[in-house]
Structure 1
Amino acid sequence: MPGKLTVIIVPFVLFWLTSRVWSATDDPFPPPGKLIEVSQKQLHINCTGTGSPLVILEAGLGGNSLDWVKVQPMLASFTRVCSYDRAGYGWSDGDALPRTSARSVYELYGLLHKAGEEGPYLLAGHSFGGFIVRMFASLHPDETSGVVLLDASHEDQFTSLSHNNRQKGRGMRLGAGQPRKLMVPEGLPEEAKLIASTLAENSRAMISLQSEMRHFNDSIHQVRYTPMPPYIPVKVISRGKRVWPEGEKGDRMETAWRLLQEDLYQRLTPASSGLSHQIATLSGHYIHLDEPRLVVRAIRKMVLNQRRLALLENRHDK
């Protein structure tokens, strides 16, 4: 299976990076997409493929559009898909305002409309990006066809995890100590890792990361009090691999995280949707890098379901 996956992914990755990233001679790493002014700053968005619904890829803390380099080419083979860089990350300008979920939703919505990328949108969010896609769906339900959560953040994660490991409570609250791992995650192809490492050296990336961490509790408050409509389909995918160290404390942390993920599923996924809580057994926190085909299959299933519903609605209208 790993060999087959490599055969499928590597040509896509090499083509995407070579044709889009190294096409210019004056800049070794120009943006693969386009820069669009939103709220007096340039934000980078990279859209490929054709079809509806439009899939939006939202990275976690410290992440950027390169985090999706394994899944975007495959998604683009059957629908339109956009990855982008939040302010300060990747190729986007920085921002002095607090980096909260609400701020990111406001900018993403403006970016999509200025880029001419119309809905309906199917939003996939990893980790902290889960807050952003949930808020987007809450504020723009008529333009949201579905949400996919990849080992996503939970409103109660600091309370729960800190309770199980009091000595590390502050570290988990701030996400301190591993900024480079957030900006250059394991699992990136070497070509993308080189670019991500270069982009991570820019001070604006660290400033944005620190701001998102500093205002994480604000984001929690925003998400908690802006619930999603229950009719929007939600697919929850959680990691299956252990990330906390072996031992009693690590066991408690792993159990706490699994319970948080199950709670997300129970609260956000209506029983009538037929969507299950999926465990990515071969994945750590970055499911889209560890098992990209699993993520693509889940999104593809939701895309096809939305197309069937749209077809039925069109027939009914006639």
Structure 2
Amino acid sequence: MLSFAWKWTWAGLLSAAALTTPAVAADFDGMVSVGGHPLHVAQTGAGPYTVVFEAGFASDLSVWRKVAPEVAKKAAVLVYSRAGYGKSPARPQPLSMEQSVAELADVLRQRKVEGSLILVGHSYGGFLIRYFAATHPQQVAGLVFVDPADEGLETVLKRLDPVRLQQDQRMLAASIPAKWQGELQTIQAILDAGKLPTMPVLPDVPAVLLTSVQARADSDFFQETPAIVKIKRERHAAFLSQFSSGAHVFTPNSGHGIQMQEPELVVAAIGQVMTLATQSAARVARAQARQKLMGELEHSAALLGKQQNDAAASRIALALRDSALSEVEINTLGFDLLTRAKRTALATLVLAYNNQAHAQSDNAADSYGEALLADARPAEAQRQFTRALALGQANGAREQAMAGYRQHLSQAEQALKQP
């Protein structure tokens, strides 16, 4: 059976699916032809990310009606109904998980949705967004799992109490209309196998997982009992551990349909993933910029070796400008080159750029002076230390810093006295 308690949310999901009004006030609300078959798609909102919602079993796009409008205030949103749900006509044969994901990819392509996707999947939708993320990793910036299905849970339950598990399966199958039995069989085949179809490793993107821990000791459903809910929670936590950034949120106040009963939790989870994705993208961009910068520094060092000092200085200035490093970061880089790498000429050019780019900084002037002094240019160093003292006084620098500037000036003056 489905590896989640399902029947007690059946009435709520049916009423949601029966809605005739759009889930959101969409900029686009219509049918998209996929392989000659129409799928109902709605889009609205704008922002740096597109949040794509994947409903669970026996659900259409309207199950996101309490979530999508809030998310659309700060992001683009796309909701759709898989074949056989809502306004999307059923197919002669049920779709496999792979086919459903391929159809989503086609929808995104036709609607010109590219990159920076936040995928949100409820229940069986969790399987689908995992497969999409694994097969389209460059497009996915983050994942939100709303009480997701677990392909391995029934394997555990078979060992614990196969009779009660079979009872759950029979009750579920009896409650499902004939038109949805095909997708139920697709899902049950995954649960029987205890694994998803073969796919690449999931990308390590920010992820938040919401788990319903609502339990009833007297429930007719095995999976709703406290012991099994505890196992589900632990397995969800184990699944989430593969992601280096994210959070696991538990709620005892909702059943399986968290997006209907506590939509604010889903909205908050999406917001958290967007924030983490933005931070992650910034870290990646900075790492790439630093890697590029280090390459440019090596090219500049080669120019210095050929006595092409002006060309080296120009190359370093362009590289540092494009790197978007702060004054403090450039200063740290310069001192690493000066003191650790012992590459005085290169450090001097880096700190010279910092001094020019931050002309009112007493610290930048002092640091450049230290590089000049190390490069045996005491007269130039003296001018920079004198300037650092004047700037420090104007900037209200701390006495400890001012004392350091005076000490450096004294060192430059002593060096000038040397024969």
Q: TM-score range by the shorter chain?
A: 0.7 to 0.9
Deviations 1:177-234 (A, max 9, x none): 3337xxxxxxxxxxxxxxxxxxxxxxxxx52x21111122444556253253351332
Aligned equivalent of 1:161: 157
In 2, are the aligned partners of 1:125 and 1:152 still within 8 Å (CA)? yes
Q: 2:277 aligns with which of 300, 306, 314?
A: 306
User: What count of residue pairs does the alignment treat as equivalent?
Assistant: 268
Deviations 1:292-314 (A, max 9, x none): 11110111011122123334545
Deviations 1:93-125 (A, max 9, x none): 211233222111011011111111222211111
Aligned equivalent of 2:206: 233
1:47 matches 2:49: no
- Counterpart CA distance in 2 for 1:260 and 1:296 is 23
Aligned equivalent of 2:130: 134
Alignment of 1:288-299 (within 5 A): 288-299=259-270
- Counterpart CA distance in 2 for 1:252 and 1:67 is 22
In 1, are the aligned partners of 2:23 and 2:68 still within 8 Å (CA)? no
1:176 matches 2:149: no
- Counterpart CA distance in 1 for 2:227 and 2:64 is 28
How far is 1:54 from its partner? 1.1
User: Of Structure 1 and Structure 2, which has the larger fraction of its residues in helix?
Assistant: 2
Q: Secondary structure at the match of 2:247?
A: coil
Go from structure 1 to structure 2 and tell me whether the alpha carbon gap of 1:255 and 1:245 turns closer, same or farther (over 3 Å shift): closer
Larger mean Cα displacement after TM superposition, 215-224 or 143-152: 215-224
Q: Secondary structure at the match of 1:276?
A: strand
Deviations 1:125-146 (A, max 9, x none): 1111111111111111111112
Q: Secondary structure at the match of 1:235?
A: strand
1:92 matches 2:88: yes
- Counterpart CA distance in 2 for 1:34 and 1:249 is 39
- Counterpart CA distance in 2 for 1:236 and 1:22 is 24
Q: Secondary structure at the match of 2:82?
A: coil
Q: 1:108 aligns with which of 84, 99, 104?
A: 104
Structure 1: gaps of 5 or more residues: 1-12, 24-31, 181-205
In 1, are the aligned partners of 2:97 and 2:186 still within 8 Å (CA)? no
1:262 matches 2:231: no
- Counterpart CA distance in 2 for 1:301 and 1:21 is 23
Aligned equivalent of 1:28: none
Q: 2:55 aligns with which of 31, 50, 59?
A: 59
- Counterpart CA distance in 1 for 2:165 and 2:112 is 43
Deviations 1:236-278 (A, max 9, x none): 1101322x551698588432243234223323433632x2321
- Counterpart CA distance in 2 for 1:17 and 1:89 is 13
Q: Secondary structure at the match of 2:196?
A: helix
Go from structure 1 to structure 2 and tell me whether the alpha carbon gap of 1:60 and 1:214 turns closer, same or farther (over 3 Å shift): same
In 2, are the aligned partners of 1:120 and 1:145 still within 8 Å (CA)? yes
Go from structure 1 to structure 2 and tell me whether the alpha carbon gap of 1:70 and 1:248 turns closer, same or farther (over 3 Å shift): closer
Aligned equivalent of 2:386: none
Structure 2 letter corresponding to 1:50:
A
In 2, are the aligned partners of 1:164 and 1:252 still within 8 Å (CA)? no
Larger mean Cα displacement after TM superposition, 129-138 or 247-256: 247-256
In 1, are the aligned partners of 2:218 and 2:225 still within 8 Å (CA)? no
Aligned equivalent of 1:284: 255
Aligned equivalent of 1:190: none
Alignment of 1:115-126 (within 5 A): 115-126=111-122
Larger Rg: 2
In 2, are the aligned partners of 1:236 and 1:276 still within 8 Å (CA)? yes
Go from structure 1 to structure 2 and tell me whether the alpha carbon gap of 1:83 and 1:290 turns closer, same or farther (over 3 Å shift): same
Structure 1 letter corresponding to 2:244:
S
In 1, are the aligned partners of 2:67 and 2:267 still within 8 Å (CA)? yes
Q: Secondary structure at the match of 1:277?
A: strand
Structure 2: gaps of 5 or more residues: 1-15, 290-321, 323-419
1:34 matches 2:30: yes
How far is 1:151 from its partner? 1.1
1:72 matches 2:43: no
Q: What's the C-alpha RMSD, in Å, of the aligned pairs?
A: 3.1
Structure 2 letter corresponding to 1:306:
A
Q: Give the TM-score, by structure 2 length.
A: 0.57
